[in-house]
Structure 1
Amino acid sequence: MQAISTILIMLVAVVISGVIVRMPRLSLPLPLIQIALGAGLASVTDFGVRLEPDVFFLLFLPPLLFLDGWRMPKEGFFRNKATILELAFGLVFFTVFGVGYFIHWMIPSMPLPVAFALAAIISPTDPVAVSSIAGRLGIPKRLMHILEGEALFNDASGLVCMRFAVVAALTGVFSPAEAAVSFLWMVVGGILSGVLVTLGVGIAKGWVSRRFGEETGSEILISLLIPFSAYLLAEEIGASGILAAVSAGMTMGFSELRGQDLASTRVQRAVVWDAIQFTLNGLMFVLLGEQLPHIVRRAIGVVGETGHTDPVWLLIYVLAITLALGVLRYLWVWVSLKLTIFRMGQRRAGQKTNRPSRRLIMATSLAGVRGAVTLAGILTLPFTLNDGTPFPARDLAICLAAGVIILSLILASIGLPFVLKGLQLPPEPHHAREEDHARIAAAEAALRAIEAREHVLSTISEEPDIWAAAAAHVMDRYRQRIDALDGEDDAETGAPNLNRRQFAIELDLWKTGLNAERQEIYRFARGRQLPGETVNKLVREIDLMETRLNEAV
């Protein structure tokens, strides 16, 4: 009963944080508000929450990473893939070694494997935390695409590095050759696990739906189970469950382009997943706030192990680590952008290429906010070594990671508004013309489908005149839409008074047209003729229209 009460109170805190962040005069990122609410709860209650690392990792990370992979803007990723991969993998390894050695040098009492584990887990950035700041500051879309893609993949690389470091700390043995083989298996096995689980579930689900129909609640529940299934399968075979969750989400995104699900399923599933994302991220930060006083007290108790007695050294360590992260990130971003421009110059021989401004490099560096993944990962550090002795400097590592999360959020909230003001980036391609072309093509596909259905059914129906009239009315509305998109006048005609029979026939024809529109949009998406954001926008419009029609029956 106590556990249920604790969860409910924390959920209420998450709801309250959503209200506070919308207050016009308050300019704070959502994660900071949630951490403060958690700390406030800890000051007036004594929940005594004990977080089991494996359970915490399993409950929070797979669905969040799955959703990130699912909703990742594919076009933005492929356009900026070189920069994203350089940040997501190269920067993580650079950070692990650079910051890891720096932490061990600064705190000699922290063993090198533990320092590497801490460096690995504070290397991933958090797209949700960045988005909460971007919503108020207006981060350019192209930079946001880079940050989102980086955060998606550096979660996996950072957590895999942390896993190797923890194993080294537990066993006291590290073999580079074995690590390389294990890393390869973890990557390949994790990716294959996610892909196979998602494809297998999709095939089975499609077979059942074709024979017995589709039930929206079951479809949503299946989508919730996929990331956990992929994660557990990968962990069972010794691969990376994190990569399995990410690859499962990306596979889900590509599988959706087949357009097999019902419109109501897509609409309701999106709402459910939005709520889950908000709830899980909120709970993680509220938990951080609730645990923070206990973490600080325990860290103060072990600060003497670092050779100092004054607790202010904890703040000094956090400041030093955050500064080291910022410096290494600035250097890596500078090198990465230089390489990108060099490659562009080779492709565009004889054309002038713009050099990256210092403000762009600084904005990219400041936007590397740590968040939910860092919190989840650091809390999974084991309590004991293999011989049963306490894991060295565990409380200190958790305290330092929590401090880095909070400080990075504060620095981004303060620094980004000044750096982003007036910042110019190469513009994202403008897709208005492509979107209008897709809308016209979809409407024309709907006209063909309606005409074909009317022709077939009117020949076998006892009411061919009603079918013809209904088809003429629906097709006339589509033609008006095409004329409007072509720039001609949209002379809206009033709908005639319809009897129930003709109304039912029109609903049937509208659904036929909407389905043809949706399939045409998906055809554009499969041919990569439209960006993912535009595809999602158009499909959602069609799904909402179909949902309204179903409710009108």
Structure 2
Amino acid sequence: MIESFPFYLSLVVAIILLIMLANKLKVAYPVLLVIAGLLISFIPGIPAIKIDPELIFIIFLPPLLYEAAWAISWKELWKWRRVIGSFAFIVVFLTATTVAFVANYCIPGFSLALGFLLGGIVSPPDAVSAGAILKFVKVPKRMSSILEGESLLNDASSLIILRFAMIAVATGQFIWHEAALSFSWMLVGGIGIGLLIGWIFMKAHKHLPTDANMDTILTIVAPYIMYICAEEVHSSGVLAVVSGGLLLSNHRHRILSASSRLRGINVWESFAFVLNGLVFLLIGLDLPEITSGLEGVSLSSAIGYGLLITGVLVVVRILSAYGAVIITLIARNYITVADTRSPGFKAPLILGWTGMRGVVSLAAALSIPLQLYPGGPDFPQRNLILFITFIVILTTLLLQGLTLPFIIKKVNMPSFKDHLPDDEADELIKRQMAQYTLEHITKNYGEMLKTSPFLQNIHDKWQGKIGDDAQIKISPEVKLAYIDILNEQRLWLIDQNHGNQYDEDVIRKHLMRIDLEEERIKYTH
């Protein structure tokens, strides 16, 4: 391991250079990193890369899911909960079932149980891939929220299918009532454990005498504890991390100081940047290990099987997207839905085309044991399943990742107008917050306003008269008053987020401005 350290260090440098190139070429960086990994793997003398699935599931997956849970809007997640839930669970099960029957019919030696195993591995679109691709394309907020929410939850359902399919392959039987009970425990237990541990961390942040560094370290430790605790009791570690992350994210402004929030954002952006880069580069670098075990089937046939399964995944997802629209249009006559308007044919097409697979599928395939049981026969079709998974990941990343911006541009997505346009919302928030702030100052600090040049200057600035308060001396009492005013602004913004008028990203931008102002004022004399 020590001998290979310079190589791994060079990979980090290569990731930085490749992402810089991807930004310049206007290409989603996962695509470029996977291609680079493939090319690097052919260089003579390169150390052999062997991905340990535990490395992905324990080291990479918890923080990446946690970071995604903090970034997503809980308001949007709840608003589109039915669509997200159907894609994260129902569509995953439907996709796995379709793959199972197609593999059983078209691939020699594939039993139905092996087909379900393959389906469980390749059925979930990847959270990391979706998030990275969406940063380079402009889609309506509702679509990005649905895709991000789905990709956060679908790993849990796919890993459940994987677990029971492996039992069926090893024992030759599948007991439905045991599977139903186990599924219920994974669902309820995973969410419950995540919320419980999240609540404990929330209390630790709020009541312990932590500083910004300690708070940041606690946020890094939290997803690992959530995941490991849930997996130890055989529930869903994925759901534990997501539910706990959403709980803490939703209370971030009540439990963390402005310093902790700003420091944490910087650390997490760098941390996620390195993990994301390594994940996609490792996919390409693992090609020699994947192809070396391919025996009993020609390379061309194996590629053909991979492309067949990829086609099945794309078709099923597109049909499911249109099916979800049809069901919603029918259901709106009986229940309250998030939007009663028909999205037309364009939105489901884009939603169906965004099913990029990623490293979780590869790690799931690599987790298949070499033998059915210790000392027993080899696990049937393991190497072929691994190769098909690799082809699916490579094809979806390259085909869909590269063509998605072009397709979005060509179909001319409609503007759903779920929220005010960002510019308009930004100006409206500024005006309303200024009015609220002036009323708060007049009501609570009227006497201080008469004697404090700093508060007078702030008062005038919000009235639009002047804007430079850097040269004005501030007493400790005025500084405390100003921090209280900033906190009132923060609470007012959080209250505005409960409605649908503003996009939560706009609200978060203004909250960050307040955090920055609070940090600035702390160091002003």
Tell me whether the two structures share a fold, i.e. TM-score over 0.5. Answer: yes
Q: Deviations over 1:196-233 (max 9, x none)?
A: 00101211332213xxxx31111011011111111111
2:340 is the alignment partner of 1:340:
no
**TM-superposed deviation, 1:237:** 1.5
Counterpart CA distance in 1 for 2:470 and 2:66 is: 48
**TM-superposed deviation, 1:182:** 0.6
User: Partner of 1:371 in structure 2?
Assistant: 358
What is the identity, as a one-letter code, of the residue corresponding to 1:114?
L
User: Partner of 1:474 in structure 2?
Assistant: 455
Counterpart CA distance in 2 for 1:171 and 1:283 is: 37
Worse-matched range after superposition: 237-246 or 159-168:
159-168
User: Partner of 2:214 in structure 1?
Assistant: 218
Counterpart CA distance in 1 for 2:153 and 2:460 is: 45
Verify the 8 A CA contact 2:99 2:119 in the aligned structure 1: yes
Verify the 8 A CA contact 2:490 2:514 in the aligned structure 1: yes
Distance change >3 Å, CA 505–CA 352, structure 1 → 2: closer
2:407 is the alignment partner of 1:426:
no
2:347 is the alignment partner of 1:360:
yes
User: Partner of 1:75 in structure 2?
Assistant: 75
**TM-superposed deviation, 1:235:** 1.3
2:321 is the alignment partner of 1:325:
no
Counterpart CA distance in 2 for 1:512 and 1:12 is: 44
Q: Deviations over 1:476-498 (max 9, x none)?
A: 424542x4xxxxxx322665954
User: What secondary structure is seen at the aligned counterpart in 1 of 2:23?
Assistant: coil
Pairwise mapping of residues 404-423 of structure 1 onto structure 2 (< 5 A)?
A: 404-420=392-408, 421=410, 422-423=412-413
Q: Deviations over 1:449-508 (max 9, x none)?
A: 65687579x7xxxxxxxx8532x5325424542x4xxxxxx3226659545xx4655544
Counterpart CA distance in 1 for 2:503 and 2:407 is: 28
**TM-superposed deviation, 1:3:** 4.7
Counterpart CA distance in 1 for 2:39 and 2:503 is: 44
Q: Deviations over 1:365-420 (max 9, x none)?
A: 11111123323332322333223343322222122111111111222145434432
What is the identity, as a one-letter code, of the residue corresponding to 2:466?
E
Distance change >3 Å, CA 479–CA 493, structure 1 → 2: closer
Q: Between the two proteins, what is the percent identity of the paired residues?
A: 27
**TM-superposed deviation, 1:185:** 0.7
**TM-superposed deviation, 1:61:** 1.0
Q: Structure 1 unaligned segments of length 5 or more: list them.
A: 459-466, 484-489
Verify the 8 A CA contact 1:38 1:290 in the aligned structure 2: yes
User: Partner of 1:34 in structure 2?
Assistant: 33
Q: Deviations over 1:169-217 (max 9, x none)?
A: 34444211100001101111110010000101211332213xxxx3111
Counterpart CA distance in 2 for 1:196 and 1:20 is: 43
Distance change >3 Å, CA 185–CA 19, structure 1 → 2: same
Q: Structure 2 unaligned segments of length 5 or more: list them.
A: none
Counterpart CA distance in 2 for 1:237 and 1:131 is: 30
Counterpart CA distance in 1 for 2:469 and 2:230 is: 56
What is the identity, as a one-letter code, of the residue corresponding to 1:10?
L
**TM-superposed deviation, 1:319:** 1.2
Aligned mate of 1:392, from 351, 370, 380: 380
TM-score norm. by structure 2 comes to: 0.89
Distance change >3 Å, CA 446–CA 171, structure 1 → 2: farther
Q: How many residues align?
A: 518
Q: Give the CA RMSD over aligned residues.
A: 2.9
Pairwise mapping of residues 77-476 of structure 1 onto structure 2 (< 5 A)?
A: 77-209=77-209, 214-257=210-253, 259-299=254-294, 302=295, 304=296, 308=297, 310-344=298-332, 354=342, 356-357=344-345, 359-388=346-375, 389-420=377-408, 421=410, 422-430=412-420, 438-439=429-430, 442-443=433-434, 446-447=437-438, 468-470=450-452, 473-476=454-457
Verify the 8 A CA contact 2:49 2:289 in the aligned structure 1: no
TM-score norm. by structure 1 comes to: 0.85
Counterpart CA distance in 1 for 2:280 and 2:372 is: 27
Distance change >3 Å, CA 184–CA 413, structure 1 → 2: closer
